Copies of this chain bind each other. A is one copy, B any other.
């Protein structure tokens, strides 16, 4: 049997010695002063075993990782109607390329590029009574952890500097693919991205994707079919224009965020969360990618 603890310990030892830790994202000013020495791994199996090393109990800004959780909430609310407004194909382009929206008449390529995630945010704003409060409660329920919060400073930092997101939302609006006002949708979206979670909390939150749609509290949130859809989307679209590389190097569905977090999972087996704030040139955690690559190499556990 695999000794997960030893494996992640070894990866941790390598990681903290790495010379090139990547570059911490600076386009969101509030994220710029995170120490790039942070490094944590946490693993949770579908059977409930957990393993952690390093800074796995330290909260960080989950950023785009939240897009997966927002998608699962939207799916539970309106089901397959989502796909009338968003496509499911990889974009093959950097994460905030507006051109595609124009070429495709306002239909974002998938729910994980910013344009698609903003449409998901619009759906949540339309279908939740108190969008920000209700979404936070959803995350707290998935994890059974009421301490999770939005970092208001990070949300505000993006509100002040997120011009491309404003451009994107307005463009979607011009194509009638945004039902609420740009300001309301982006206020929600920036909060969603500004969720602060630890590696172990993220492993809990993503547990439903390795447990047929049931969360830790054994509540069914989405169908097994919807789990499959989300896992397929993570594999093909979870890493901007490095999705193909990740599919090969790691071979797991996953989602990264510019805060340096990556969650990946082997369906029906385990969730693994890594955090290392420095990014590579494509905007994914540099050491996080390497750690997951080592993990699947050492464990020989991947979908391929």
Contacts and interface: CB of A to CB of B under 8 A. Distances in A.
B228 A90 contact: no
Interface string A127-170: 00000000000000000000000000000000000011011111
Interface in A280-294: none
Instruction: Determine chain A's interface SS by DSSP, over half rule.
Output: helix
Contact of A244 (B163, B170, B174, B236): B236
The residue in A164, A169, A182, A233 that gathers the most chain B C-beta atoms within 10 A of its C-beta is A164
A3 interface: no
A292 B189 CA distance: 37
Interface string A233-245: 1011100011111
A89 interface: yes
A89 B231 CA distance: 18
Contacts of A99: 98-99, 102-103
A89 B92 contact: yes
Contacts of A103: 99
A16 interface: no
Nearest to A161: B174
A211 to B, nearest CB: 13
Interface stretch (A59-67, A197-205, A246-254): A246-254
A229 interface: yes
Contact of A174 (B163, B169, B182, B247): B163
Contacts of A303: 267, 303-304
Contacts of A233: 244, 247-248
Interface of A: 87-93, 97-100, 102-103, 109-110, 163-164, 166-171, 173-174, 182, 227-229, 231-233, 235-237, 241-245, 247-248, 251, 253, 267, 302-304
21 contacts: A89-B90, A89-B241, A89-B243, A90-B92, A97-B102, A98-B102, A99-B102, A163-B173, A163-B182, A164-B170, A166-B182, A167-B167, A167-B168, A167-B169, A167-B173, A233-B244, A235-B247, A236-B236, A236-B247, A237-B244, A267-B304
